[in-house]
């Protein structure tokens, strides 16, 4: 039994090493540079060993996407729990989203296809639904007096997401403004959308 446990532990360690090496290559050289051969070289294994764990590069990207959504959901949940009022919760969650995007830039890129082709399957990944669910629940709380429809809540969510994701993408791909101006734009956008929900 101990031997089986040890083998399983070694397999899990190798799997984690593959994912860590992939992320490190992306940080140093960008996602287009990622290949099974480079990953194998980085962890000092042969390429066929990598294929025992992941069928192809897309499978690795898919797993990293899942990891990214788990971290993002954790960060947004922690931000939400610091506040009681829905408006403050929304602001805190979107600021946590923003902070995640730059703290985990490479994960964000692969999750949302910024400067990299992302996996189509990530759209049906359960982990990808968690941030959406957290935010829409708070939007519904804020809109409760108006008895919003599902479509009305969706419109508010996508208004938030399009503005914030757009601002993140602009800053990742072509940075031309200072941190102060960018942060001011971000806070203005968030507070403006929150006001429109309350109106």
Mean pLDDT, residues 146-157 taken together: 92
- Model pLDDT for residues 52-107, shown as the tens digit of each residue: 999 999 899 999 999 999 999 999 999 999 999 999 999 999 999 999 999 999 99
Is residue 33 located within the same domain as residue 69? no
| The pair of three-digit structure tokens given for residue 154, joined into one six-digit string | 């969706």
Does residue 59 lie within any of the structural domains?
A: no
Task: Give the count of domains, the chain.
Answer: 2
1: DSSP letter: -
**Structure-derived torsion over alpha carbons of residues 66, 71, 74, 77, reported in degrees to the nearest 10:** -90
Helix/strand/coil percentages in the chain, nearest 5:
85, 0, 15
Is residue 137 located within the same domain as residue 189? yes
User: CATH number, domain at 18?
Assistant: 1.10.10.60
pLDDT band at 187; cut points 50, 70, 90: very high
Average pLDDT taken over every residue of the chain:
90
pLDDT of residue 169: 87
- Are 195 and 143 in contact by the 8 Å Cβ rule? The answer is no
| The pair of three-digit structure tokens given for residue 56, joined into one six-digit string | 């192809």
Give yes or no for residue 118 having a pLDDT over 90.
Answer: no
Does residue 84 lie within any of the structural domains?
A: yes
pLDDT of residue 65: 92
Task: Return the top range by mean pLDDT from 1-10, 18-27, 138-147.
Answer: 18-27
Q: Report the Cα 64 to chain-centroid distance in Å.
A: 10
Top pLDDT among 121 and 114 is at 114
Phi, psi of 84, deg, nearest 5: -105, -40
CB atoms within 10 A of CB 20: 14
Give yes or no for residue 8 having a pLDDT over 70.
Answer: yes
12: domain range?
Answer: 1-54
Does residue 60 lie within any of the structural domains?
A: no
Does residue 138 lie within any of the structural domains?
A: yes
Q: Report the Cα 128 to chain-centroid distance in Å.
A: 8
Give yes or no for residue 175 having a pLDDT over 70.
Answer: no
Q: Model-level pTM?
A: 0.88
- Are 118 and 112 in contact by the 8 Å Cβ rule? The answer is yes
Is residue 107 located within the same domain as residue 14? no
- Model pLDDT for residues 15-34, shown as the tens digit of each residue: 999 999 999 999 999 999 99
- Three-state SS at 164: helix
Contacts of 72 (CB under 8 A, 6+ apart): 97, 100, 104, 111, 130, 131
Give yes or no for residue 147 having a pLDDT over 80.
Answer: yes
């Amino acid at each position: 039994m101990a031997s089986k446990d040890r083998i399983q532990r070694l397999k899990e360690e190798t799997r984690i090493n593959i994912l860590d090496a992939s992320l490190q290559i992306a940080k140093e050289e960008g996602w287009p540079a990622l290949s099974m051969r480079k990953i194998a070289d980085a962890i000092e294994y042969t390429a066929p060993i990598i294929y025992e764990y992941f069928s192809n590069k897309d499978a690795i990207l898919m797993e990293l996407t899942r990891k990214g959504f788990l971290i993002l959901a954790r960060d947004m949940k922690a931000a939400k729990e610091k506040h009681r009022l829905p408006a403050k919760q929304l602001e805190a969650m979107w600021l946590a989203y923003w902070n995640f995007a730059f703290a985990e830039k490479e994960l964000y890129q692969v999750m949302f296809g910024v400067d990299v082709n992302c996996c189509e399957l990530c759209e049906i990944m359960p982990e990808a639904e968690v941030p959406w669910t957290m935010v829409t629940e708070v939007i519904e709380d804020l809109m409760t007096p108006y008895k919003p429809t599902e479509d009305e809540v969706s419109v508010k969510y996508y208004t938030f997401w399009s503005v914030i994701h757009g601002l993140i993408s602009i800053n990742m791909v072509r940075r031309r403004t200072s941190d102060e101006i960018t942060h001011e734009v971000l806070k203005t956008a968030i507070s403006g959308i929150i006001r429109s929900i309350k109106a």
